[in-house]
């Protein structure tokens, strides 16, 4: 996720820099297609980041549920073991 955020920041920075260069040029260079490509890439990076965040949150909840169930079963086994003695 961190690399996705860094990539998004770099894309934003590059898009801003391209716009600035385009404005400063005496000869009109058409950098708009490149800026649009960068913004599309940024959008895809954001989508991937959201997918990763959702997957990580689901894994965290699943891990919590598994740990809770493990504790519950362990308690049941220990209670059953004490009754058998």
Using CA atoms, how far apart are residues 14 and 39, in angstroms rounded to an integer? 10
Name the token pair of 53.
């965040």
Which H or E run includes 28?
A: none
Q: pLDDT tens, 10-45?
A: 888 888 888 788 777 766 667 778 888 888 988 898
Q: Where are the domains of the chain?
A: 1-81
Q: Which tens digits make up the pLDDT trace of 59-83?
A: 999 999 999 999 999 998 888 765 5
**Residue 51: pLDDT above 80?**
yes
How far is it, in rounded angstroms, from Cα 46 to Cα 34? Answer: 18
């Amino acid at each position: 996720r961190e690399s996705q955020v860094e990539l998004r920041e770099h894309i934003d920075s590059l898009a801003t820099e391209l716009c600035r260069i385009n404005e400063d040029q005496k000869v009109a260079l058409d950098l708009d297609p490149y800026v649009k490509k960068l913004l599309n890439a940024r959008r895809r990076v954001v989508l991937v980041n959201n997918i990763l965040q959702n997957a990580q949150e689901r894994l965290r909840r699943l891990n919590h549920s598994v740990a809770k169930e493990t504790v519950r079963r362990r308690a049941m086994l220990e209670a059953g073991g004490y009754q058998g003695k």
